A and B are shown apart, each in its own frame.
Chain A
């Protein structure tokens, strides 16, 4: 009984052990497709829906995943391996499945001004050798950069050209020319960037140009003058220098509490000027006056007629005449307007006029 039980126990233990460690070899109806470069395996076998339903879904999926992973790892073990620092490493082959990019491919850099020109003219780049023979040093040296061949900055003597000033320093001239070339190149580089990004090409101060106009020069001068830490506040002016044109005007007001009498004086003067600009003879006013006078005269004539008929209101007649006389005094244009004799023809003329201003 006891021996039997021991054997049984051993067998049971073995079985459990075997179940724990599943087999390395997995049988599949169709072989899997492997892309080991991407660590990818594709299982084309059909999933039996009956199995899927019968077993627990989670367990089924887990066992399927386990089997397929086992196959992939088997595939990895077929690759050549090596040992790096106590770890076994396999070298993966190139991936065969093309994967899409996350981001769109970068756009090509827009061509620079020179590249555009070169394309237009059909100029092609010529590859130059990196090393050239240095005649003086009798060895091969690099074409450019440090320790270059035929270095013209290392010359100890420069011949003065016949056309140039003999007192001119040819060495510093070369250094200066080089610096200018570098600066120009840098500016062109920045301009290319600006053009590529469609920003306005910066042009503050003096941009290199073939011919600078007087205007541009003066603007450059004013820009240069204000380009100090104190905004050009302490910059001296040249003896005959003119103030910069086209600069912003700053509003300037009188102080709030300043010279009151001066302020008053200025305002009074302004009033005087305003007064003097008014026309001395106001045409509408004069015409109105004339019209009023005519009205009066007409009224006076009516009264006169009425007085003649009825023989009444002698006093009123006198009054009317007196008023007319007053108006005559005011009306400078018509001397003797108040007189009854002189008033007649003038009155007739006035009657004609009367219609016209009425329309206006």
Chain B
């Protein structure tokens, strides 16, 4: 485990800012304690200082996970968000998409959101903007990337993709062994 380098921090923040914009500040500077990002096994974990100090008792090869995994760095040094980060992305999300109850399951099985399943969408959403996907009951289901702007969404036919799937809570079951 080690702190992120300048470059890694930048890569991660750039990815996070696609979903929560300048709200990253709220993750970095929290009133309820000191929280930090740490890299372990190419994965970024977000944890409190207290947890970090406790985790130092565990040897590096034995440590599976600590705090919340935000995502991982690929071999080409890109950052991929994991579904585990949803708890921290959802409250601060700037752009949201609500899916109809009928399309919920399809999304949770890893499919893209079609126009027919689109319930609501935040105004002013740009193309390729990172969005958090909610059910109509305001339960966060995952996140993705807007395939169309809000304007275009109104015009496209019902079977066209509106939100590209990136991660959903169904992964907790589907991908249980890989998630940490």
Interface of A is mostly: helix
Shortest B51–chain A CB gap in Å is 12
Tell whether B179 is near chain A: CB-to-CB under 8 Å.
Answer: no
Q: Is the CB of B34 within 8 A of A271?
A: no
User: Could you tell me which residues of chain B, from 50 to 92, have a CB within 8 Å of some CB in chain A?
Assistant: 52-53, 56
Q: Is the CB of B52 within 8 A of A257?
A: yes
Chain B residues with CB under 8 A of A224: none
Tell whether A253 is near chain B: CB-to-CB under 8 Å.
Answer: yes
Q: How many A-B residue pairs have CB under 8 A?
A: 66
User: Could you tell me which residues of chain B, from 1 to 39, have a CB within 8 Å of some CB in chain A?
Assistant: 1-3, 5-6, 9-10, 13-14, 17, 22, 24-25, 28-29, 34, 36, 38
Contact partner of A268 (CB less than 8 A), chosen from B2, B29, B52, B150, is: B29
Known: A256-B1, A260-B34, A264-B34. A274 touches B124 (CB 8 A): no
B interface, size bucket: 20 to 34
Known: A253-B2, A257-B52, A285-B124. A270 touches B10 (CB 8 A): yes
Q: Is the CB of A263 within 8 A of B124?
A: no
Shortest A44–chain B CB gap in Å is 79
Tell whether B111 is near chain A: CB-to-CB under 8 Å.
Answer: no
Chain A residues with CB under 8 A of B123: 292
Tell whether A275 is near chain B: CB-to-CB under 8 Å.
Answer: yes
Known: A260-B34, A268-B29. A274 touches B17 (CB 8 A): yes
Shortest B149–chain A CB gap in Å is 6
Contact with A along B128-171 (1 / 0, CB 8 A): 00000000000000000000011110010000000000000000
Number of interface residues of A (CB under 8 A): 26
Chain A residues with CB under 8 A of B25: 268, 271
Closest to B52 in A: A257
Closest to A260 in B: B34
Chain B residues with CB under 8 A of A207: none
Chain B residues with CB under 8 A of A254: 2-3
Q: In whole angstroms, what is the CA distance A351 to B115 when docked? A: 26
Q: In whole angstroms, what is the CA distance A291 to B149 when docked? A: 11
Q: In whole angstroms, what is the CA distance A288 to B56 when docked? A: 50
Chain A residues with CB under 8 A of B34: 260-261, 264
Contact with B along A194-220 (1 / 0, CB 8 A): 000000000000000000000000000
Q: Is the CB of A267 within 8 A of B9?
A: yes
Q: Is the CB of B22 within 8 A of A271?
A: yes
Chain B residues with CB under 8 A of A270: 6, 9-10, 13
Q: Is the CB of B14 within 8 A of A268?
A: no
Shortest B120–chain A CB gap in Å is 16
Q: In whole angstroms, what is the CA distance A271 to B22 when docked? A: 8
Closest to B14 in A: A274
Closest to A254 in B: B3
Chain B residues with CB under 8 A of A291: 151
Q: Is the CB of A264 within 8 A of B150?
A: no
Q: Is the CB of B3 within 8 A of A268?
A: no
Chain A residues with CB under 8 A of B29: 264, 268
Could you pull out 24 A-B pairs where Cβ atoms are within 8 angstroms?
A253-B2, A257-B49, A257-B52, A257-B53, A257-B56, A260-B49, A261-B34, A264-B28, A264-B36, A266-B6, A267-B13, A268-B28, A270-B9, A270-B13, A271-B22, A274-B10, A274-B14, A274-B17, A285-B124, A288-B124, A288-B149, A288-B150, A289-B124, A358-B155
Q: Interface residues, chain B, CB within 8 Å of chain A?
A: 1-3, 5-6, 9-10, 13-14, 17, 22, 24-25, 28-29, 34, 36, 38, 49, 52-53, 56, 123-124, 126-127, 149-152, 155
